[in-house]
């Protein structure tokens, strides 16, 4: 049996967590992602940039009440990559059953 290749970008624990959160909501602000993942600000920021560069998410930056607000949203490409990643993982699990 040949296993599907796992997307190395999504195989990172934090990036996978971010994508899992974004797939279930329309959009999420930086603080929500920070709270839900338990990661540091710097790490979340770096991982968001990697996902953005891959085209998996869009990031919007604005100010609300003089405070910066960063919002992330998954793209169609990101949704497709996530779904393929999940299917690939399922094939690994079925092979071991």
- Within a domain: residue 3? no
**pLDDT (0 to 100) of residue 1:** 57
What tokens were used for 54?
């891959």
Share the mean pLDDT of the chain.
94
- Within a domain: residue 20? yes
Q: What is the CATH number of the domain that holds 75?
A: 1.10.10.10
Top mean pLDDT of 5-14, 47-56, 59-68 is at 47-56
- Within a domain: residue 22? yes
- Within a domain: residue 7? no
Judged against a pLDDT cut of 90, whether residue 96 lies above it is answered with no
pTM: 0.90
Domain count, the chain: 1
- Within a domain: residue 45? yes
Other Cβ atoms closer than 10 A to 58: 14
Average pLDDT over residues 23-39: 96
Judged against a pLDDT cut of 70, whether residue 68 lies above it is answered with yes
What does each C-alpha distance from 7 to 4, 54, 60, 61 come to in angstroms? Answer: 9, 11, 25, 27
- Within a domain: residue 90? yes
- Within a domain: residue 4? no
Helix, strand or coil, per DSSP, at residue 26: coil
Domain hosting 59: range is 13-96
**pLDDT (0 to 100) of residue 5:** 87
């Amino acid at each position: 049996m040949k296993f599907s290749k796992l997307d190395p970008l999504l195989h990172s624990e934090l990036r996978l967590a971010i994508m899992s959160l974004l797939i279930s909501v329309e959009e999420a602000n930086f603080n929500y992602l920070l709270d839900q993942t338990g990661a540091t600000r710097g790490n979340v920021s770096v991982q968001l940039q990697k996902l953005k560069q891959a085209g998996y998410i869009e990031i919007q930056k604005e100010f609300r009440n003089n405070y910066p607000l960063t919002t992330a949203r998954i793209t169609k490409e990101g949704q497709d990559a996530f779904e393929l990643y999940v299917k690939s993982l399922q094939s690994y699990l079925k092979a071991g059953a």
